[in-house]
Structure 1
């Protein structure tokens, strides 16, 4: 009896869980991370224990005929609850309201799990059924109620998931909307699975026989629904991670011109630190920013507020926005300071600055390092400052047009 159609999805969920495990270890208290990992774990367990070979093995190990039935039904109910909890935590909102709704979902489905176990214990299932227990025992007291209860619990979860995802999808865009709509498609497969199950069970109640719907069609629909939904859950998270990584590396690259300009200064001060090439992007950006700040600290005695003011006026006249004009002015001041430092090999300016109690001239407020870095090679105002001779008088400074 081939269980590959069950074991392959179970293995896929196990791999996804292994990928997410490091993030969970780093953020144990993050309810979203816990919800994602719980969903992946329960999905994998459902497929594993629902496989006919596993069903037979579990029944043999426990010595209880059809023990796997309530086990799988309980796992399905827990999986449904985990989906609802994930959506609630993913959507966010007031912390207290989120925790309260999560507690209600967990409490409700915990009650369903207890009821499933009690009903199975009260019922009588002497004949082992690996594939068609739902229809074979559709008219058996207590077992009948157990079957209806788990199907009803899954239906409630499926309808609730579609409603919440559709409402949320109307309020957001991008990859999040795409993921939510994919989840809706996945749960439409799940609702189709439940429809085939209910149809086959009701047919048994009325003396008919549509067992093939439950035995052969429903598992295919369930597998497709679970895998499509998993894609919907993972897609926005994965794309957000890729987007964040791309943004971090983009920042690292755009800081390059300013970092290379100031690298000799920070290296001369003995503050430059080499990090390994395999270091995370965020750490590399932090290190590059630190090197830039160290370089600027070494240039402070050479900063000239007059150079910055003239460059700012030139940038504004050329049509730059206020933010861009400030960045161009800072870049021009840095360029002039590097040139001034190169013309002072004996460090007389630094010595004079150390004897002076007045603070060095700096830009107002925090600097936008990325804008400054880009302005170094893109701004004609900075190019004009870079091309000036050291002895050039202030009156010769011109304001280039764009």
Structure 2
């Protein structure tokens, strides 16, 4: 595996951690978020310090030949502890038992790291080896025990993770199941890495030279395994983020028909927001504009739409041509109430007090009523409130409502022809 590949994996894992960093800051108290997020920087650290140029620099800075080896092994063991801790957190159960298991995990793997450094100090590894340390010192007392201890602890962690994720993948659907299967695949490949290392070390014990299995095959398998595991860990959260963004965008677009109609009713200039505002701020502004308009016409929504067609019946605070739009909103409100009669009452108080779902449903009904009838020989009697408006993807409250037809709408049940 080339040096560039080491640093490429460092970059991928670092980007993945950067994408998760905001969620880690917001939900630091969530043990599952902490467990998943800490794996990414540990994985990046493993490949960074395992790259031959970094190994050489660390050895030169410390003045100790091969000091990078226990350092990399310590990071690998810490990552293994994070994997085991992740399985404990995913498994759930009583809080006391989970915390006790986590403490045991940290204590045992912490002792393993301390033992690795102790064995390195007791052994004789005075000749620097950048790529074949494991096999070159496979017969050196204390050093061989350090290598085997690290490889076995890493393999045990991946075995536990693969077993748990495989059982869980049979109980969940969708992208979460795909992510778990990727983790299982990566964990199985990690066991292949362990097998390659032990095979090469065992060959040295038997007087054979299978160093290529350890220096070439094992790092390639390990890099692919780590990549699959990280993608599997990131896939569920990334899919949740995309789904959440799509839902918020969909809700924002669904509110547009009602929002444009309220713009034609309210007499004052609505608040302008900067073009670079977030989607959440835009939706909040749109919802506030709608509720402001509904409050102005609230006394009219309990009556029939045709009662609102007379301009002299409008309050002076509304725009002169607001009658047609109020008629449309009133008819849509009555249609929504009729449609929800068997499920839940459509209350204007709910719309004004914060029930966004009712606003979305009212806007959907208004959009359907405003679409021209395309049946040959017939035309809808409802004027479109979107005529002359900009329908771009990020339109803000500064949009202009275009001219409307001069003829008032007929009775909702009336059709021409």
TM more than 0.5? yes
Indicate conservation of the 8 Å contact 1:302/1:341, yes or no.
no
With normalisation by structure 1, the TM-score equals 0.78
Match of 1:84 in 2: 84
Partners of 1:260 and 1:106 in 2: CA distance? 58
Partners of 2:312 and 2:24 in 1: CA distance? 51
Q: Quick check: 1:261 aligned with 2:251?
A: no
Partners of 1:337 and 1:260 in 2: CA distance? 22
Q: Quick check: 1:346 aligned with 2:316?
A: yes
Distance verdict in 2 for CA 1:24–1:347, change over 3 Å? closer
Partners of 1:156 and 1:338 in 2: CA distance? 75
Partners of 2:312 and 2:120 in 1: CA distance? 86
What residue ranges of structure 2 are gaps of 5+ in the alignment?
319-344, 352-357, 374-379, 384-406
Deviation at 1:89, TM superposition (A): 4.3
Match of 1:279 in 2: 277
Where do 1:1-400 residues align within 5 Å? 3-89=3-89, 95-265=95-265, 267-268=266-267, 272-304=270-302, 307=304, 339=309, 343-346=313-316, 363-364=346-347, 366-367=350-351, 368-378=358-368
**Any idea what SS the aligned residue of 1:109 has?**
helix
Indicate conservation of the 8 Å contact 2:87/2:160, yes or no.
no
Deviation at 1:209, TM superposition (A): 2.1
Distance verdict in 2 for CA 1:101–1:338, change over 3 Å? farther
Distance verdict in 2 for CA 1:79–1:340, change over 3 Å? farther
Partners of 1:116 and 1:342 in 2: CA distance? 89
**Any idea what SS the aligned residue of 2:126 has?**
coil
Partners of 1:129 and 1:204 in 2: CA distance? 16
Indicate conservation of the 8 Å contact 1:32/1:90, yes or no.
yes
Distance verdict in 2 for CA 1:337–1:134, change over 3 Å? farther
1:172-227 CA distance string (max 9 Å, x none): 11111111111111122211111100111112222222121111111111111111
Partners of 1:103 and 1:337 in 2: CA distance? 72
**Structure with greater proportional helix content:** 1
**Any idea what SS the aligned residue of 1:110 has?**
helix
Deviation at 1:158, TM superposition (A): 0.8
Distance verdict in 2 for CA 1:179–1:337, change over 3 Å? farther
Match of 2:386 in 1: none
After TM superposition, the runs of 4+ consecutive aligned structure 1 residues lying more than 6 A away are: 335-338, 383-387, 389-392
1:7-41 CA distance string (max 9 Å, x none): 11112222333333344344443434433332121
Partners of 2:287 and 2:307 in 1: CA distance? 19
**Any idea what SS the aligned residue of 1:182 has?**
helix
Partners of 1:168 and 1:296 in 2: CA distance? 49
What residue ranges of structure 1 are gaps of 5+ in the alignment?
308-334, 349-361
Deviation at 1:342, TM superposition (A): 7.5
Match of 1:327 in 2: none
Distance verdict in 2 for CA 1:397–1:375, change over 3 Å? closer
Deviation at 1:228, TM superposition (A): 1.7
Count residues in correspondence. 354
Partners of 2:309 and 2:20 in 1: CA distance? 50
Partners of 2:271 and 2:98 in 1: CA distance? 45
Indicate conservation of the 8 Å contact 2:16/2:234, yes or no.
no
**Structural RMSD (CA):** 3.4
1:136-173 CA distance string (max 9 Å, x none): 22222221211111111111111011011111111111
Distance verdict in 2 for CA 1:297–1:211, change over 3 Å? same
